[in-house]
Structure 1
Amino acid sequence: MAADKKRKHTLASSFKFGFEGIAAAAVKERNVKIHIAISVFVILSGFVFSISKYEWIAIILSIGGMISMEMMNTAIERTVDMYTKEYHPLAKQAKDIAAGAVLVFAISSVIIGFIIFLPRLLAWF
Protein backbone atom coordinates (compact mmCIF):
# COMPACT_ATOMS: atom_id res chain seq x y z
CA MET A 1 0.00 0.00 0.00
CA ALA A 2 1.43 3.37 -0.96
CA ALA A 3 2.32 5.78 1.81
CA ASP A 4 -0.21 8.32 0.52
CA LYS A 5 -3.03 5.76 0.60
CA LYS A 6 -3.03 5.04 4.32
CA ARG A 7 -6.00 3.09 5.55
CA LYS A 8 -8.36 5.20 7.64
CA HIS A 9 -10.56 3.64 10.28
CA THR A 10 -13.65 5.04 11.85
CA LEU A 11 -13.69 5.75 15.56
CA ALA A 12 -16.11 2.85 16.01
CA SER A 13 -13.78 0.44 14.20
CA SER A 14 -10.86 1.63 16.33
CA PHE A 15 -12.84 0.76 19.47
CA LYS A 16 -13.80 -2.58 17.90
CA PHE A 17 -10.15 -3.42 17.24
CA GLY A 18 -9.26 -2.47 20.80
CA PHE A 19 -11.97 -4.68 22.27
CA GLU A 20 -10.87 -7.52 19.97
CA GLY A 21 -7.34 -7.14 21.34
CA ILE A 22 -8.57 -7.22 24.93
CA ALA A 23 -10.68 -10.30 24.21
CA ALA A 24 -7.79 -12.07 22.45
CA ALA A 25 -5.46 -11.40 25.38
CA ALA A 26 -8.07 -12.48 27.95
CA VAL A 27 -8.72 -15.73 26.10
CA LYS A 28 -5.23 -16.67 24.89
CA GLU A 29 -2.76 -15.29 27.40
CA ARG A 30 -2.16 -17.21 30.64
CA ASN A 31 -0.72 -14.22 32.49
CA VAL A 32 -3.63 -11.96 31.53
CA LYS A 33 -6.02 -14.61 32.85
CA ILE A 34 -4.08 -14.69 36.11
CA HIS A 35 -4.17 -10.88 36.38
CA ILE A 36 -7.92 -10.85 35.71
CA ALA A 37 -8.53 -13.47 38.41
CA ILE A 38 -6.43 -11.55 40.93
CA SER A 39 -8.19 -8.32 39.90
CA VAL A 40 -11.61 -9.83 40.62
CA PHE A 41 -10.37 -10.90 44.06
CA VAL A 42 -8.92 -7.44 44.76
CA ILE A 43 -12.12 -5.70 43.64
CA LEU A 44 -14.23 -7.95 45.86
CA SER A 45 -11.83 -7.27 48.73
CA GLY A 46 -12.23 -3.54 48.11
CA PHE A 47 -15.98 -3.89 48.63
CA VAL A 48 -15.56 -6.13 51.69
CA PHE A 49 -13.17 -3.67 53.34
CA SER A 50 -14.99 -0.53 52.15
CA ILE A 51 -11.84 1.12 50.84
CA SER A 52 -11.85 4.86 50.25
CA LYS A 53 -12.37 6.67 46.96
CA TYR A 54 -8.64 7.37 46.67
CA GLU A 55 -7.77 3.77 47.43
CA TRP A 56 -10.18 2.73 44.66
CA ILE A 57 -8.35 5.08 42.31
CA ALA A 58 -5.03 3.42 43.21
CA ILE A 59 -6.55 -0.05 42.75
CA ILE A 60 -8.15 0.82 39.40
CA LEU A 61 -4.90 2.36 38.11
CA SER A 62 -2.95 -0.67 39.32
CA ILE A 63 -5.32 -3.15 37.69
CA GLY A 64 -5.60 -1.22 34.45
CA GLY A 65 -1.89 -0.61 34.29
CA MET A 66 -1.01 -4.22 35.09
CA ILE A 67 -3.27 -5.70 32.43
CA SER A 68 -2.13 -3.05 29.93
CA MET A 69 1.53 -3.79 30.66
CA GLU A 70 0.93 -7.51 30.21
CA MET A 71 -0.79 -6.88 26.88
CA MET A 72 2.06 -4.62 25.69
CA ASN A 73 4.56 -7.29 26.71
CA THR A 74 2.60 -9.84 24.67
CA ALA A 75 2.50 -7.48 21.67
CA ILE A 76 6.28 -6.98 21.88
CA GLU A 77 6.91 -10.72 22.20
CA ARG A 78 4.67 -11.48 19.22
CA THR A 79 6.31 -8.79 17.10
CA VAL A 80 9.80 -10.05 17.93
CA ASP A 81 8.73 -13.65 17.27
CA MET A 82 7.24 -12.63 13.92
CA TYR A 83 10.49 -10.93 12.95
CA THR A 84 12.83 -13.77 13.88
CA LYS A 85 12.46 -17.36 15.08
CA GLU A 86 16.21 -17.64 15.52
CA TYR A 87 18.04 -16.58 18.64
CA HIS A 88 19.24 -13.02 18.44
CA PRO A 89 20.67 -11.11 21.41
CA LEU A 90 18.66 -7.97 20.60
CA ALA A 91 15.44 -10.00 20.29
CA LYS A 92 16.14 -11.56 23.70
CA GLN A 93 16.92 -8.17 25.16
CA ALA A 94 13.69 -6.64 23.81
CA LYS A 95 11.63 -9.48 25.27
CA ASP A 96 13.50 -9.43 28.59
CA ILE A 97 13.13 -5.67 28.96
CA ALA A 98 9.38 -5.87 28.23
CA ALA A 99 9.05 -8.69 30.80
CA GLY A 100 11.05 -6.60 33.27
CA ALA A 101 8.67 -3.66 32.79
CA VAL A 102 5.77 -5.97 33.64
CA LEU A 103 7.62 -7.18 36.73
CA VAL A 104 8.32 -3.63 37.93
CA PHE A 105 4.64 -2.72 37.59
CA ALA A 106 3.57 -5.98 39.27
CA ILE A 107 5.82 -5.31 42.25
CA SER A 108 4.49 -1.75 42.52
CA SER A 109 0.91 -3.04 42.35
CA VAL A 110 1.55 -5.60 45.08
CA ILE A 111 3.05 -2.88 47.30
CA ILE A 112 -0.03 -0.70 46.71
CA GLY A 113 -2.21 -3.69 47.62
CA PHE A 114 -0.25 -4.24 50.83
CA ILE A 115 -0.50 -0.57 51.78
CA ILE A 116 -4.28 -0.62 51.28
CA PHE A 117 -5.25 -4.07 52.54
CA LEU A 118 -2.61 -5.18 55.06
CA PRO A 119 -3.72 -2.84 57.88
CA ARG A 120 -7.32 -3.98 57.37
CA LEU A 121 -6.34 -7.64 57.39
CA LEU A 122 -4.23 -7.19 60.53
CA ALA A 123 -7.15 -5.47 62.25
CA TRP A 124 -9.20 -8.65 61.76
CA PHE A 125 -6.68 -10.72 63.73
Structure 2
Amino acid sequence: MRFVKSLKYALRGIVYCINNERNMRIHTVAVLYVLAFSPFFEMSRARYAILLVTFALVLMAETFNTVAEELCDLVAPSFHPVVRIVKDMAAGGVLICAGFAVGVGVCLFWQPAAFLRIWRYFLDNPAMIAVLLASIALALVYILAGPLGIRDFFRKKKLPRTP
Protein backbone atom coordinates (compact mmCIF):
# COMPACT_ATOMS: atom_id res chain seq x y z
CA MET A 1 0.00 0.00 0.00
CA ARG A 2 2.88 2.39 0.71
CA PHE A 3 4.19 1.83 -2.80
CA VAL A 4 0.83 2.79 -4.31
CA LYS A 5 0.75 5.97 -2.21
CA SER A 6 4.31 6.91 -3.19
CA LEU A 7 3.44 6.31 -6.84
CA LYS A 8 0.39 8.55 -6.45
CA TYR A 9 2.51 11.33 -4.93
CA ALA A 10 5.12 11.03 -7.67
CA LEU A 11 2.48 11.21 -10.39
CA ARG A 12 0.95 14.23 -8.64
CA GLY A 13 4.35 15.93 -8.80
CA ILE A 14 4.69 15.20 -12.52
CA VAL A 15 1.19 16.52 -13.20
CA TYR A 16 1.96 19.67 -11.17
CA CYS A 17 5.08 20.26 -13.24
CA ILE A 18 3.21 19.78 -16.54
CA ASN A 19 0.34 22.01 -15.41
CA ASN A 20 2.57 24.83 -14.18
CA GLU A 21 5.72 24.79 -16.32
CA ARG A 22 5.52 25.72 -20.00
CA ASN A 23 9.01 24.35 -20.62
CA MET A 24 7.94 20.94 -19.31
CA ARG A 25 5.09 20.98 -21.82
CA ILE A 26 7.56 21.88 -24.57
CA HIS A 27 9.74 18.93 -23.56
CA THR A 28 6.80 16.51 -23.47
CA VAL A 29 5.65 17.62 -26.93
CA ALA A 30 9.20 17.18 -28.26
CA VAL A 31 9.31 13.66 -26.78
CA LEU A 32 6.01 12.76 -28.45
CA TYR A 33 7.06 14.05 -31.88
CA VAL A 34 10.45 12.35 -31.70
CA LEU A 35 8.74 9.07 -30.80
CA ALA A 36 6.13 9.54 -33.53
CA PHE A 37 8.76 10.04 -36.23
CA SER A 38 11.31 7.53 -34.94
CA PRO A 39 9.89 4.56 -36.94
CA PHE A 40 11.10 6.26 -40.12
CA PHE A 41 14.68 5.90 -38.88
CA GLU A 42 16.84 2.83 -38.56
CA MET A 43 16.89 2.42 -34.81
CA SER A 44 18.22 -0.54 -32.87
CA ARG A 45 17.05 -1.39 -29.37
CA ALA A 46 20.25 0.16 -28.03
CA ARG A 47 19.53 3.40 -29.90
CA TYR A 48 16.00 3.47 -28.49
CA ALA A 49 17.45 2.89 -25.02
CA ILE A 50 19.78 5.87 -25.47
CA LEU A 51 16.83 7.93 -26.69
CA LEU A 52 14.67 6.97 -23.70
CA VAL A 53 17.46 7.75 -21.22
CA THR A 54 17.95 11.11 -22.93
CA PHE A 55 14.22 11.88 -22.62
CA ALA A 56 14.32 10.91 -18.94
CA LEU A 57 17.29 13.15 -18.23
CA VAL A 58 15.73 16.22 -19.83
CA LEU A 59 12.36 15.70 -18.13
CA MET A 60 14.08 15.03 -14.82
CA ALA A 61 16.22 18.16 -15.17
CA GLU A 62 13.10 20.24 -15.83
CA THR A 63 11.40 18.69 -12.80
CA PHE A 64 14.36 19.49 -10.55
CA ASN A 65 14.42 23.02 -11.95
CA THR A 66 10.79 23.37 -10.90
CA VAL A 67 11.67 22.04 -7.44
CA ALA A 68 14.45 24.64 -7.11
CA GLU A 69 12.14 27.45 -8.24
CA GLU A 70 9.33 26.44 -5.88
CA LEU A 71 11.68 26.13 -2.90
CA CYS A 72 13.32 29.47 -3.69
CA ASP A 73 9.92 31.17 -3.92
CA LEU A 74 8.92 29.63 -0.59
CA VAL A 75 12.10 30.71 1.20
CA ALA A 76 12.38 34.18 -0.32
CA PRO A 77 9.13 35.48 -1.85
CA SER A 78 10.79 38.80 -2.71
CA PHE A 79 13.99 39.35 -4.66
CA HIS A 80 17.16 37.97 -3.18
CA PRO A 81 20.48 37.72 -5.09
CA VAL A 82 21.20 34.18 -3.87
CA VAL A 83 17.75 33.02 -4.98
CA ARG A 84 18.42 34.48 -8.42
CA ILE A 85 21.71 32.58 -8.62
CA VAL A 86 20.06 29.30 -7.54
CA LYS A 87 17.25 29.71 -10.08
CA ASP A 88 19.75 30.61 -12.83
CA MET A 89 21.89 27.57 -12.03
CA ALA A 90 18.86 25.25 -12.07
CA ALA A 91 17.76 26.67 -15.41
CA GLY A 92 21.34 26.32 -16.66
CA GLY A 93 21.25 22.64 -15.73
CA VAL A 94 18.17 22.16 -17.90
CA LEU A 95 19.83 24.05 -20.75
CA ILE A 96 22.94 21.86 -20.54
CA CYS A 97 20.82 18.70 -20.52
CA ALA A 98 18.62 19.88 -23.41
CA GLY A 99 21.66 20.95 -25.42
CA PHE A 100 23.28 17.55 -25.06
CA ALA A 101 19.92 15.93 -25.88
CA VAL A 102 19.97 17.79 -29.20
CA GLY A 103 23.46 16.38 -29.76
CA VAL A 104 22.20 12.87 -29.03
CA GLY A 105 19.33 13.49 -31.45
CA VAL A 106 21.70 14.57 -34.20
CA CYS A 107 23.85 11.47 -33.64
CA LEU A 108 20.85 9.14 -33.69
CA PHE A 109 18.75 10.75 -36.40
CA TRP A 110 21.21 12.07 -38.94
CA GLN A 111 20.02 9.68 -41.63
CA PRO A 112 19.26 11.54 -44.88
CA ALA A 113 17.46 8.50 -46.32
CA ALA A 114 15.00 8.62 -43.42
CA PHE A 115 14.19 12.25 -44.13
CA LEU A 116 13.38 11.22 -47.70
CA ARG A 117 11.09 8.45 -46.37
CA ILE A 118 9.26 11.00 -44.26
CA TRP A 119 8.93 13.33 -47.23
CA ARG A 120 7.61 10.48 -49.44
CA TYR A 121 5.21 9.36 -46.72
CA PHE A 122 3.55 12.78 -46.61
CA LEU A 123 3.54 13.07 -50.41
CA ASP A 124 1.87 9.66 -50.69
CA ASN A 125 -0.60 10.42 -47.86
CA PRO A 126 -1.72 14.04 -48.25
CA ALA A 127 -4.38 13.57 -45.57
CA MET A 128 -1.56 12.98 -43.09
CA ILE A 129 -0.35 16.53 -43.74
CA ALA A 130 -3.67 17.75 -42.34
CA VAL A 131 -3.27 15.39 -39.36
CA LEU A 132 0.26 16.71 -38.77
CA LEU A 133 -0.87 20.34 -38.99
CA ALA A 134 -3.79 19.66 -36.63
CA SER A 135 -1.45 17.95 -34.16
CA ILE A 136 0.91 20.92 -34.32
CA ALA A 137 -1.99 23.30 -33.62
CA LEU A 138 -3.11 21.16 -30.67
CA ALA A 139 0.47 20.96 -29.39
CA LEU A 140 0.78 24.75 -29.50
CA VAL A 141 -2.46 25.17 -27.54
CA TYR A 142 -1.22 22.60 -25.01
CA ILE A 143 2.14 24.36 -24.68
CA LEU A 144 0.78 27.90 -24.44
CA ALA A 145 -2.38 27.34 -22.39
CA GLY A 146 -1.49 24.17 -20.55
CA PRO A 147 -3.94 21.52 -19.40
CA LEU A 148 -5.42 23.82 -16.74
CA GLY A 149 -5.86 26.67 -19.20
CA ILE A 150 -7.59 24.37 -21.69
CA ARG A 151 -9.82 23.00 -18.93
CA ASP A 152 -10.71 26.49 -17.74
CA PHE A 153 -11.47 27.62 -21.30
CA PHE A 154 -14.05 24.87 -21.74
CA ARG A 155 -15.52 25.33 -18.24
CA LYS A 156 -16.19 29.05 -18.67
CA LYS A 157 -19.84 29.82 -18.37
CA LYS A 158 -21.23 32.39 -20.70
CA LEU A 159 -22.52 35.38 -18.82
CA PRO A 160 -25.97 36.55 -19.88
CA ARG A 161 -26.00 39.82 -21.74
CA THR A 162 -27.59 42.74 -20.01
CA PRO A 163 -29.65 45.07 -22.18
TM-score of Structure 1 vs Structure 2, range by shorter chain:
0.7 to 0.9
- Return the structure number with greater relative CO, CA threshold 8 A, min gap 6: 2
Instruction: Determine helix, strand or coil for the equivalent of 2:43.
Output: coil
Identity fraction in percent: 27
Q: Structure 1 segments of 4 or more deviating over 6 A?
A: none
1:55-101 Cα deviation digits (max 9, x unpaired): 10111011111111101101110110111122212111111111111
| CA distance in 2: counterparts of 1:48 and 1:20, whole angstroms | 34
| Per-residue deviation, 1:25 | 1.4
Determine if the alignment matches structure 1 residue 99 to structure 2 residue 105.
no
Show structure 2 runs of 5+ residues with no match: 117-163
Q: Which amino acid aligns with 1:103?
A: L
Q: 1:46 aligns with which of 33, 38, 43?
A: 38
* TM score, norm. by length of structure 2: 0.66
* Residue of structure 1 equivalent to 2:6: 14
**Number of residues of Structure 1 aligned to a counterpart in Structure 2:** 115
Q: How does 1:1-125 map to 2 (within 5 A)?
A: 10-118=2-110, 120=111, 122-123=112-113, 124=115
* Residue of structure 2 equivalent to 1:3: none
Show structure 1 runs of 5+ residues with no match: 1-8
* TM score, norm. by length of structure 1: 0.85
RMSD, aligned α-carbons: 1.5
